[in-house]
Amino acid sequence: MAAIEPMEQFLVHKVVDLPPIPVPGLGMLDMSITNSVLFMLIAAILISGFFFASARRQIVPGRLQALAEMLYNMVDGTLTGGIIGDRGRPFLPFVFTLFLLIAMLNLIGLAPGGFAVTSQLAVTAALAVMTFTIVLVVGFARNGLGFFKLFFPPGMPLGVAIPMMFIEFISFSVRPLTLAMRLFGNMLGGHVVTYMFASFVIGLGLFGLEGAGLAKLGLIGSVISFLVIVALLALEFVVAFLQAFVFAALTCVYLNEVVNLDHGH
């Protein structure tokens, strides 16, 4: 029986090999399309196709239009509007796109033959760094040097405020790491566990078919493992949306701190 390699599903490999492009100061840039890039392109095409098909502006919306409006209203009302307030409307396109992209990447990673893009730390780290950079830019653009008030808890004595300043600064600085690791860890773990139970289905099934006597109990174990996979996949579909929602919600929380800094201090 072949060795079980649950991490093999996360290997990045080239799908279309393209010649490298010389970039001044960086050397040769490999523009080959990998399986990770391919599924990101698929996600972008599916999202664009979904909104193209749902943008009918009908008085009585169809199913696609109703779903698109529900997603939009959820992000607008619950996230940008609910967390940031009236000042959150300019950030709605970014947060909405971030939510949809992560959700779609999570979902297509669950499809048969799919590749779990969000199980790549490089991808989740890129999304986290991009989000953190926007928070910094918005923070300094709106508040100038007043941005540093974020690290000074109001109403504290100076002797306590100074140590708290360093704690708040460290907490703020590790946000890209926690954003990236949360999404990466949840998606990686779910795929590994599902893979392991899938291997149990095949391994125990073959053991039960080829063996005799008590070995036939392997068939029962195979059926139980299959039922567990069905339950895990149902849970993973929920987690796919939940992790996208959490990432978008934390983005709004971080934006709220810098957008409404003058209100909170």
DSSP 186-249: HHHHHHHHHHHHHHHHHHHHHHHHH--GGGGHHHHHHHHHHHHHHHHHHHHHHHHHHHHHHHHH
The pLDDT of residue 238: 92
- E-only strand ranges, 87-158: none
Domain edges within the chain: 33-264
The pLDDT of residue 216: 65
The pLDDT of residue 265: 46
Is pLDDT above 60 for 115? yes
Residues with Cβ within 8 Å of 244's Cβ and at least 6 positions away in sequence, in order, are: 99, 100, 102, 103, 106
Question: Measured between alpha carbons, how far is residue 117 from residues 87, 103, 124, 191 in Å?
Answer: 32, 11, 9, 11
Could you give the CA distance from residue 128 to residue 177 in angstroms, rounded to a whole number? 7
Is pLDDT above 60 for 102? yes
Is pLDDT above 90 for 181? yes
Question: Is 33:22 a contact under the CB 8 Å cutoff?
Answer: no
What does the pLDDT look like over 25-71, one tens digit per residue? 777 788 888 999 999 999 999 999 988 888 776 666 778 888 888 99
Confidence class for position 23, pLDDT limits 50, 70, 90: confident
Mean pLDDT score, 116-137 = 94
Is pLDDT above 60 for 1? no
- Highest mean pLDDT, choosing among 57-61, 86-90, 125-129: 125-129
* Predicted TM-score (pTM) of this structure: 0.88
Question: Is 188:10 a contact under the CB 8 Å cutoff?
Answer: yes
Confidence class for position 214, pLDDT limits 50, 70, 90: low
Question: Is 246:106 a contact under the CB 8 Å cutoff?
Answer: no
Is pLDDT above 70 for 2? no
The pLDDT of residue 41: 94
Could you give the CA distance from residue 265 to residue 262 in angstroms, rounded to a whole number? 6
Mean pLDDT score, 68-97 = 91
Q: 132-166 as b/e, with b when 16 or more CB fall inside 10 Å? A: bebbeebbeeebeeebeebbeeeeeeeeeeeeebe
Confidence class for position 3, pLDDT limits 50, 70, 90: low
Residue 51: which of 63, 70, 62, 65 has the closest Cα?
65
CA 66 from centroid of its chain's CA atoms? 24
Mean pLDDT score, 162-191 = 89
Q: How far separated are the first and last CA of the chain, in Å rounded?
A: 64
Question: Measured between alpha carbons, how far is residue 113 from residues 10, 39, 92, 194, 224 in Å?
Answer: 12, 11, 33, 14, 23
Q: Which is higher by pLDDT, 193 or 129? A: 129
The pLDDT of residue 264: 54
The pLDDT of residue 14: 86
Place of tokens 């409307």: 89
Share of the chain above pLDDT 90, in %: 38
